[in-house]
Amino acid sequence: MKFNNERELQEDLAKYLRECGYLTYTEIEIKGGRGGRADVVAVKPSYANKDCRIYEVKNNRAAFDRDTKYEKYLDVCHRMFIACPKGMIAKDELPPKIGLIVKGENGWYVVKSPRRNIPKDFNIDFVLSLLYHGYEETQGQRKLRDHIIAKDNVALNYRAKNIGYEIARRLDRDRETQVEEWILKVAKLFEKYMGIPAKERFDGLPSVYDIEHILRGSRNYEKELSNLRRIGEYICSLEHEEDGMYSGLGIRREKALEAIGNA
């Protein structure tokens, strides 16, 4: 993989180190007499085993040949690495305290492990520089995240409205279809039993008032039939009283009188 500049190589290395479990920072300013700016700083999140690593990134041989001051970062880190594309620098070219990590076709891997160093100036100033820069990066990430979320929310809101509109449209269509089918069946029933012609259009149906009148009349008609049935049973029992074919004449008389009173 070819990188256009050292910044791209830095970001790729920082991503790899984060995946390995390190807290990573890029372009960290070194305070004090040493000065300079470390390309990538990686800190292991551990109190028991303090391990701060600095990676000096070189994207081409000329940049490595010009830089003769990278060893000064040993004052503030426990391990120091040169990071570069595979084949650009040989491990024998580096001092014993400097390690080498390269980017090959299959990713980053360590060619030479550095000796552990005891930094003399690993102090509060250096730690604060990590905190300040880390906060700036986090703030930038938060703003980017909020922007993405806001943009996504607008898109999701628009999609949700479209989906909701489509669902409502389909529900309305299905409901109207069911109602229309029911009305046509009702129209045919009126045509069959009441002689009212059924039409494809709904204006051929009786009014609500007419339907209520028909239903009330049906209920009264059923009640009248019941009363007539009781009176008929009493009259029938009178005709056959002498033959002893019917019993309970008094009960039938009471029901007949009740039916006459309700008529």
- Taking only the tens place, the pLDDT of each residue in 39-65 is 999 998 887 888 899 999 999 898 888
pLDDT at 146 over 70: no
pTM over cut 0.75: no
Q: What are phi and psi of 26, to 5 degrees?
A: -120, 150
Helix or strand holding residue 198 (H, E): none
Distance CA 173, CA 158 (A): 23
Q: Which residues of 175-208 are buried (b: 16+ CB within 10 A; e: fewer)?
A: eeeeeeeeeeeebeebeeeeeeebeeeeeebeee
pLDDT at 17 over 70: yes
More confident site: 200 or 253 = 253
The 37-43 sheet, strands edge to edge: 23-29, 37-43, 52-57, 79-85, 98-104, 107-112
pLDDT of residue 13: 94
pLDDT of residue 235: 72
Q: Any idea of the CA torsion for 205, 207, 210, 212, to the nearest 10 degrees?
A: 110
CA angle in degrees (0–180, nearest 5) for 165-170-176: 125
Are 100 and 89 contacting, i.e. CB atoms less than 8 angstroms apart?
Answer: yes
Query: 3-state DSSP call for residue 99?
Result: strand
Helix, strand, coil % in the chain, rounded to nearest 5: 55, 15, 30
Helix or strand holding residue 224 (H, E): helix 208-239
Are 52 and 78 contacting, i.e. CB atoms less than 8 angstroms apart?
Answer: yes
Please report which confidence band the pLDDT of residue 100 belongs to, taking 50, 70 and 90 as the band edges.
very high
Burial classification of residue 229, based on how many CB atoms lie within 10 Å of its CB (0-12 exposed, 13-18 middle, 19 or more buried): exposed
CA atoms within 13 A on the CB side of 98: 18
Both tokens of 191, joined, read: 């045509």
pLDDT at 77 over 80: yes
Please report which confidence band the pLDDT of residue 240 belongs to, taking 50, 70 and 90 as the band edges.
low
Q: Residues 139-145: what's their mean pLDDT?
A: 59
pLDDT of residue 44: 87
Distance CA 50, CA 22 (A): 12
Q: Quick one: how many helices (H) and strands (E) in the chain?
A: 5, 6
pLDDT at 176 over 70: no
Average pLDDT, the chain: 75
What residues pair up with 245 in beta bridges, in sequence order?
Answer: none
pLDDT of residue 197: 67
Across 22-31, 183-192, 224-233, the highest mean pLDDT is recorded for 22-31
pLDDT of residue 72: 86
